[in-house]
Amino acid sequence: MRHAFADCLLDTETLTLTRAGTPVPVEPQVFDLLRLLVENAGRVVTRDEIVETVWKGRIVSESAISARIAAARKAVGCDGKTQAVIRTVARRGLQLTVPVSEQSEPPAALPVAPQPALQRIRYCRTPEGHRIAYALSGSGPPVIRSNPVVASNVEAELKIDALRDFFGAISAHNTLLRFDAVGVGCSDREGARIDLDGLTQQIGLVADAAGMDRFALYAESGGTHRAIAYAAQNPERVSRLVLVGGYVDGRLRRGGFDGPEPIRAMIEQGWDTPRGGLAAGYLLSYFPDGPLETVRAWVDMMQTSTPKAFALAKREWVNNGSIAEYLSRVRCPTLVVHARHDAVHPLSEAQKLAAGIAQAELVVLDSGNHMPLPGTPVYEPFLETLLAFLAEDDIGGAV
Does residue 73 sit in the same domain as residue 164?
no
Domain contains 116: no
Does residue 242 sit in the same domain as residue 145?
yes
Domain contains 114: no
pLDDT reported for residue 219:
98
- 203 or 106: which leads in pLDDT: 203
Domain contains 62: yes
Kindly give the pairing relationship between strand 175-179 and strand 131-137: antiparallel
Domain contains 27: yes
Does residue 157 sit in the same domain as residue 69?
no
Contacts of 316 (CB under 8 A, 6+ apart): 264
- In angstroms, the CA 332 to CA 378 distance is 26
Does residue 203 sit in the same domain as residue 69?
no
Cα-based distances in Å from 163 to 9, 32, 151, 152, 375: 31, 26, 11, 11, 12
Does residue 42 sit in the same domain as residue 175?
no
Domain contains 18: yes
pLDDT reported for residue 66:
82
Domain that holds residue 97: 2-103
Domain contains 145: yes
Q: Per-residue confidence at 328, pLDDT binned at 50, 70, 90?
A: very high
Quick: pLDDT tens for 23-61.
Answer: 888 888 899 999 999 999 999 999 999 999 998 888 877
Quick: pLDDT tens for 196-249.
Answer: 999 999 999 999 999 999 999 999 999 999 999 999 999 999 999 999 999 999
- Among 103, 135, 164, the domain-final residue is 103
Q: What is the DSSP string of 165-193?
A: HHHHHHHTTSEEEEEPPTTSTTS-SSS--
Does residue 81 sit in the same domain as residue 150?
no
Does residue 139 sit in the same domain as residue 215?
yes
pLDDT reported for residue 193:
81
pLDDT at residue 302 tops 60: yes
pLDDT reported for residue 113:
47
Q: Per-residue confidence at 260, pLDDT binned at 50, 70, 90?
A: low
Domain contains 226: yes
Does residue 201 sit in the same domain as residue 332?
yes
pLDDT at residue 106 tops 80: no
Classified as helix, coil or strand, 190 is coil
Does residue 154 sit in the same domain as residue 39?
no
pLDDT reported for residue 394:
43
First and final C-alpha spacing in the chain: 27
Does residue 240 sit in the same domain as residue 200?
yes
Q: Per-residue confidence at 257, pLDDT binned at 50, 70, 90?
A: low
CATH code for position 249:
3.40.50.1820
Quick: pLDDT tens for 140-182.
Answer: 899 999 998 888 899 999 989 889 889 988 998 899 999 999 9
- Among 72, 103, 134, the domain-final residue is 103
Is this prediction's pTM over 0.75? no
What does pLDDT average to over the chain?
89
Domain contains 380: yes
Does residue 231 sit in the same domain as residue 136?
yes
Domain count, the chain: 2
Classified as helix, coil or strand, 56 is coil
Q: Per-residue confidence at 64, pLDDT binned at 50, 70, 90?
A: confident
Cα-based distances in Å from 365 to 59, 94, 263, 285: 18, 33, 23, 17
pLDDT reported for residue 396:
37
CATH code for position 76:
1.10.10.10
User: If we measure between CA atoms, which residue out of 387, 325, 371, 379 comes closest to residue 352?
Assistant: 325
Q: Which residues pair with 179 in a beta bridge?
A: 134
User: If we measure between CA atoms, which residue out of 207, 206, 209, 241 comes closest to residue 227?
Assistant: 241
